[in-house]
Structure 1
Amino acid sequence: MLRISLRDGEALVVNGAMLRSKGRTELVIENKVALLRGREIMAPEEATSTARRLYFATMMAYLGDEPEAHKNQVIDELTLLIPAMTCDAGRAACVRFARLVAEGDYYRGLAACRTLIEFEGAALVPANEAA
């Protein structure tokens, strides 16, 4: 059993269905479901970098929307991201993420991918700042 408290207007995705609370809401989940809270949900237009596209593909695989197709995208994006990691900790985070996804643990993979987004942001300097 999982107890979730939602703020007014907070989004929640349950097995691919987008829900939004009206008023403060408390839910009790009594069986296994794929769910993401508002701060864990990424819209397609937010997938603007390799690590963000990796997160979006992992999120879609977790929610059950053609997991194999998204798993292939995860592999493609990870192949691009690993060489961009400039530090050992970033590469280790890639390995940790890949292990979780290979085991089918997409939810924990999302948490690991948030770390990759941070590493990517630190490793890649925007072109207008490099000049």
Structure 2
Amino acid sequence: MTLRISLRNGEPVIVNGAVLRAVGRTDLVVENDATILRGRDVMKPEEATSPARQLYFACMMAYIDPADLSRHQQVLLARLEGLMTALETTEAKAVCIRFAQKVATGQFYNALADCRWLIGYESDALSRLEQPAGISAPVAQPAAETAAAG
């Protein structure tokens, strides 16, 4: 399966654990199986500031660091359990279940899309909580899943 990746000038990409950086606008064609994560999909540890973001970070680490997969899976399960307990809507719980199914079959990259949905859901829920009393905030839909690369 061939995967075409377009990178902007200076954009990093992780390929099988190695960090590469584009010099100028660059198109890459990957012609075999590889673990690939574009820089825009990479989360730094200090950005994992909420339960959904911590779940994303743990999933990302399981994807890009298979040598320590067992430890990353333990963190993933703990984060997922905590998030499932806190979520109230059936839609959000269904996304968590879909996420868990992908993780169970090693589809970590695809599971990141579910995490992005959960981050949007969490962000919308928190913004509604932060509204001053008596002011009704419009109910926003969680951010749509971003298309999986390639």
Q: Same fold by TM (over 0.5)?
A: yes
Number of residue pairs the alignment of both structures matches: 131
User: What corresponds to 1:90 in structure 2?
Assistant: 92
Is 1:13 aligned to residue 14 of structure 2?
yes
Displacement after TM superposition at 1:53 (Å) = 0.8
List aligned pairs for 1:7-46, cutoff 5 A: 7-46=8-47
2:13 aligned counterpart, secondary structure:
strand
Displacement after TM superposition at 1:19 (Å) = 1.2
- In 2, are the aligned partners of 1:61 and 1:70 still within 8 Å (CA)? yes
Root-mean-square deviation over aligned CA pairs = 1.8
- In 2, are the aligned partners of 1:85 and 1:120 still within 8 Å (CA)? no
| Structure 2 stretches lacking a partner, 5+ long | 134-150
TM-score normalised by length of structure 1 = 0.91
Cα deviation digits, residues 36-85 of structure 1 (max 9, x gap) = 11221111111111111111111111112411100110000011101221
Displacement after TM superposition at 1:17 (Å) = 1.4
TM-score normalised by length of structure 2 = 0.80
User: What corresponds to 1:109 in structure 2?
Assistant: 111
User: What corresponds to 2:141 in structure 1?
Assistant: none
CA distance in 1, matches of 2:129, 2:121: 17
| Runs of 4+ more than 2 Å apart | 122-131
1:66 aligned counterpart, secondary structure:
helix
- In 2, are the aligned partners of 1:47 and 1:53 still within 8 Å (CA)? yes
CA gap of 1:118–1:23, structure 2 versus 1, over 3 A, is same
Alignment-mate amino acid for residue 73 of structure 2? K
The percentage of aligned residue pairs carrying the same residue is 50
2:84 aligned counterpart, secondary structure:
helix
Displacement after TM superposition at 1:120 (Å) = 1.6
CA distance in 1, matches of 2:61, 2:39: 15
